[in-house]
């Protein structure tokens, strides 16, 4: 994947450091979540939940740590969808430090879920179309 249509800039907070003086590994997931939520809002899954009680569930997430990060600093999380299946899709993330170096790569699997029926459902066509528009490709 070379294109990341979502870019979220965040500031590293002093409280995100661990005993060793670098950004704690759990904080990376907070950064990933911030970008994921921007993406989900952009494709309309938040609105689908309000209208039809169909929304996203995070089925899996993983992160590969490449470099340490330190306070103070800023980061950028770049995100894009790398696959769509019937009821799920994947979001790939790059976390870059203020020098533009990749400090982590992460992957999420999102499942579209009907919260009334308590079961997964096919990704709504309008959501799939918005992803394809944002990503400028057909899946």
CATH number for the domain harbouring residue 124: 3.10.129.10
Instruction: Kindly report whether the global pTM for this prediction surpasses the value 0.85.
Output: yes
Domain of residue 51, residue span: 6-135
Say yes or no to pLDDT of 2 above 70.
no
Q: Where are the alpha helices (DSSP H) in the chain?
A: 25-42, 45-52, 125-135
Residue 1 lies in a domain: no
Reported as a pLDDT band with limits 50, 70 and 90, residue 1 is: low
Total structural domains within the chain: 1
The answer, yes or no, to whether the previous bond of 72 is cis (omega within 30 of 0) is yes
Q: Where are the alpha helices (DSSP H) in 56-123?
A: none
**pLDDT tens for each residue of 24-70:** 999 999 999 999 999 999 999 887 777 888 999 999 999 999 999 99
CA 72 – CA 70 distance, rounded (Å): 6
Please report whether residue 110 resides in a domain: yes
């Amino acid at each position: 994947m070379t294109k990341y249509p979502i870019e979220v800039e965040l500031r590293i907070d002093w409280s995100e450091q661990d005993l060793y003086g670098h950004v704690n590994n759990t904080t990376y997931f907070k950064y990933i979540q911030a970008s994921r939520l921007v993406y989900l809002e952009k494709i309309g899954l938040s609105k689908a939940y309000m209208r039809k009680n169909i929304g996203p569930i995070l089925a899996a997430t993983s992160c590969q740590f490449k470099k340490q990060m330190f306070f103070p600093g800023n980061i950028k999380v770049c995100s894009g969808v790398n696959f769509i299946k019937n009821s799920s899709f994947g979001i790939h993330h790059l976390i870059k430090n203020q020098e533009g170096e990749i400090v982590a790569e992460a992957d999420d699997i999102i499942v579209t879920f009907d919260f009334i029926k308590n079961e997964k459902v096919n990704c709504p066509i309008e959501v799939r179309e918005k992803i394809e528009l944002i990503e400028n490709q057909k899946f």
